[in-house]
Amino acid sequence: MTSPIDGDLYQRVQDLYQNYGHAIDVDDLEAWPEFFTADARYCVIPRENHDRGLPAALIDCRGRPMLLDRVVALRTANIYNIHFDRHLVSPAVITGRDGDVLESRVNFTVMQTDQSGVTRLFAAGVSYDRIRVEEQRLRFLDRRLVLDTYGVPELLATPL
Amino acid sequence: MQDSDYIFREHDLDRFRWPDADYAHTPYRVFKDSAIYEREMEKVFRGPTWGYLALEAELPEAGSFKSVMLGNTPVVVSREEDGSFSAFVNRCAHRGATVVREEFGKADTHACIYHQWCYSSAGDLVGVPYRRGVSGKGGYPKDFKPAQHGLRKLHVESYKGLIFGSLQNEPGTLMAYLGPHIKEHLDRILVKPLKVLGYHRQRISANWKLYFENIKDPYHAGLLHMFAATFGTYRSTQEGYTLVSDGGGHSIVYSVMGTDDHDSVSEHYKDVKDKYQTDFQLNDGTLLQWTPDFDDGIGNLIISVFPNLVVQQILNTLATRQVRPLGPDGMELVWTFFGFEDDDDTLTDDRLRQLNLVGPAGYISMEDGEAIRLVQQAIQGETDATSFIQMGGLGPIVDADHVVTEVCTRGFWKQYAQTMEFAPREEGAPVPEKAHD
């Protein structure tokens, strides 16, 4: 089976995922909405809902303004456990291509560490994504993160 | 010191008594003591209470079932052929294995995997392999009667699509247990057949009672949840009401949107400036786009029923929350979101978009998990101290026409203490004999 994309483009996809996770892990939340197109959808849905065709999501941002609001709320309004994150993202599997839009899938885990330096598995799952290839950079058009860890440990504040 | 000064530090739980009859102080040890936890499972969750099990809408067909926890008792609730609902303890009558292993499903019968004892959806034993032995050898004694070996059944009653169960032998009616306030407010929001939209679950490192203290406490809501205060989905300055059941354990807190103004909010929030930020604007206002389901302006309603149910209406979001204790130090909270069967796509979409506000990741609810975790963390080493619960004053535990009160929290402790037989002793009543160690 041949990949629908060449090696250079595949490397750009890999960089997109790694840079995305890193931005959150170093608390550069302000950069997070920039990984998405203006009309993007970002959805974190419990696997039990996804598998049963139930629509309720944990986070469902429709468009970059809602992503920005999530960041502003986390920075100014919300109070949550003091922690830092570590994203571990598998190599991408490119599952399709339609012009300048790629379909891609990755597995993800997010480890969360508290102020005592104790690290716990916080989230595991798979993300079904669509990526728009732009001249300057790749951006997510759609991320649907299906959360295996839907018994959310404590709370879910910072993005996955 | 008098004996009564130390009675809530008493290790013999038959002698344990609440520190005061106003329930204005809660001994922290009730949040971490494993013997108290075991007593709760028996006296509260298997005692004279009705526990919330599921929505009827989750069990659409005959044979549909759902596995839940009532305290630490595993329970399966099912829809029967005649449309009624039944529930049994999910533990084989033979050797104790979990019979139903799935969270949800549909089945006419349930066979235990261990020795294939087979039960009807109502929990009656309908099949036992090798009952009369194999080739004339083995088998059960002649007096073995399958009818005596069914699964333990719960009493089951529904109201407005909510299914409740009781493990007590002779519970009173569900309606008598809920009382008129709860009925009135369930009647208000559960007006049509429901449609399940999905689930959130979260596991909080806090005792289950800390969650009840939290959701019964409107005092914190306008102070901890700055997002709610800023955007007016909930503020202490709004017209609001606090209703409490006769027994104290059930309550209703609600507030009416648009009933305060900028001047009064600024005045009353001046000491907590960072909680009310007038320059905080959403980039996308559709998050708070509210098409009221009802015409009374109530934007935030929290109904709680002792010992494991919360029903919410926050803007267009409708949900039950089931509290499942996980030992003294932890709990699972299961949110079941729903709309109405006849919702059009636009209304369903509004409900789904507003889920960003609620649940473990919600803008106006994520703080609760953190706040009660901080309590659990801080009380670990404490054996003597109590909390202080007097906002709104002391005295009778009755309704209030405002939300600056902890009266519902005192009500919760009243019903809890009475159910646990921890209520303060009447003046002059004898102290029970100390048990032998």
Let me know whether B223 and B337 are in one domain.
yes
Let me know whether B76 and B220 are in one domain.
no
Res B275: pLDDT: 61
- Mutation choice for A interface testing from B333, B343, B351, B356 by most A CBs within 10 A: B356
Let me know whether B128 and B199 are in one domain.
no
Q: Looking at beta carbons, which residues of chain A come within 8 Å of B371? A: 79
Q: Looking at beta carbons, which residues of chain B come within 8 Å of A153? A: 202-203
Residue A64 Cα, gap to closest chain B Cα (Å): 9
Asked whether the predicted pLDDT for residue B110 surpasses 60, the reply is yes
Let me know whether B76 and B217 are in one domain.
no
Let me know whether B281 and B348 are in one domain.
yes
Confidence of residue B428 (pLDDT cuts 50, 70, 90): low
The number of distinct structural domains making up chain B is 2
Residue B60 within any structural domain of the chain: yes
Res B277: pLDDT: 67
A74 has a chain B CB within 8 A of its CB: no
Domain that holds residue B314: 179-419
ipTM above 0.90, yes or no: yes
Residues B94-104, mean pLDDT to the nearest whole number:
97
Confidence of residue B2 (pLDDT cuts 50, 70, 90): very low
d(CA A58, CA A153): 13
Confidence of residue B230 (pLDDT cuts 50, 70, 90): confident
Res B93: pLDDT: 98
Which residues of chain A register pLDDT less than 70? Answer: 1-2
Residue B32 within any structural domain of the chain: no
Closest residue to A76, CB basis, from B280, B286, B369: B280
Domain ranges in chain A are 7-147
- DSSP character string of B234-290: S-TTS-EEEEE-TTSS-EEEEEETT-S-HHHHHHHTGGGGGG--TT---S-GGGG--
Residue B40 within any structural domain of the chain: no
Res B7: pLDDT: 79
Q: What are phi and psi of A20, to 5 degrees?
A: -60, -55
Confidence of residue B1 (pLDDT cuts 50, 70, 90): very low
Question: Taking CB atoms and an 8 Å limit, are B199 and A61 in contact across chains?
Answer: no
Q: Looking at beta carbons, which residues of chain A come within 8 Å of B196? A: 54
Asked whether the predicted pLDDT for residue B157 surpasses 70, the reply is yes
- Mutation choice for A interface testing from B69, B223, B284 by most A CBs within 10 A: B284
* A102-141 per-position pLDDT tens digit: 999 999 999 999 999 999 999 999 999 999 999 889 999 9
Residue B202 Cα, gap to closest chain A Cα (Å): 4
B106 has a chain A CB within 8 A of its CB: no
A72 has a chain B CB within 8 A of its CB: yes
Q: Between helices B208-215 and B366-378, what is the axis angle to 10°?
A: 130
- The CATH number of the domain holding residue B81 is 2.102.10.10
Angle CA B13–B217–B42, to nearest 5: 30
Report DSSP state, residue B293: S
**Closest to B319 (Cα-Cα) out of B373, B362, B285, B284:** B362
Res B301: pLDDT: 95
Question: Which residues in chain A (135-154) have CB-CB distances under 8 A to chain B?
Answer: 150-154
Could you check whether the bond before residue B432 is cis, i.e. omega within 30 degrees of 0? no
A53 has a chain B CB within 8 A of its CB: no
Closest residue to B352, CB basis, from A55, A152, A155: A55
Res A67: pLDDT: 97
Numbers of helices and strands, H then E, in chain A: 3, 8
Let me know whether B109 and B192 are in one domain.
no
Joined tokens for residue B9: 């530090």
* Biggest alpha carbon–alpha carbon distance for chain B: 89
The strand pairing partners of A109, in sequence order, are: A88, A124
* B269-295 per-position pLDDT tens digit: 777 766 666 667 889 989 988 999 999
Q: Specify the CATH number of the domain A7-147.
A: 3.10.450.50
**Closest to B408 (Cα-Cα) out of B83, B140, B73, B181:** B181
Let me know whether B333 and B396 are in one domain.
yes
Question: Taking CB atoms and an 8 Å limit, are A154 and B203 in contact across chains?
Answer: yes
Joined tokens for residue B305: 């029923």
Question: Taking CB atoms and an 8 Å limit, are A54 and B196 in contact across chains?
Answer: yes
Residue B44 within any structural domain of the chain: no
- The CATH number of the domain holding residue B353 is 3.90.380.10
Closest residue to A153, CB basis, from B203, B224, B227: B203
Residues B45-59, mean pLDDT to the nearest whole number:
98
A111 has a chain B CB within 8 A of its CB: no
Question: Taking CB atoms and an 8 Å limit, are A81 and B373 in contact across chains?
Answer: yes
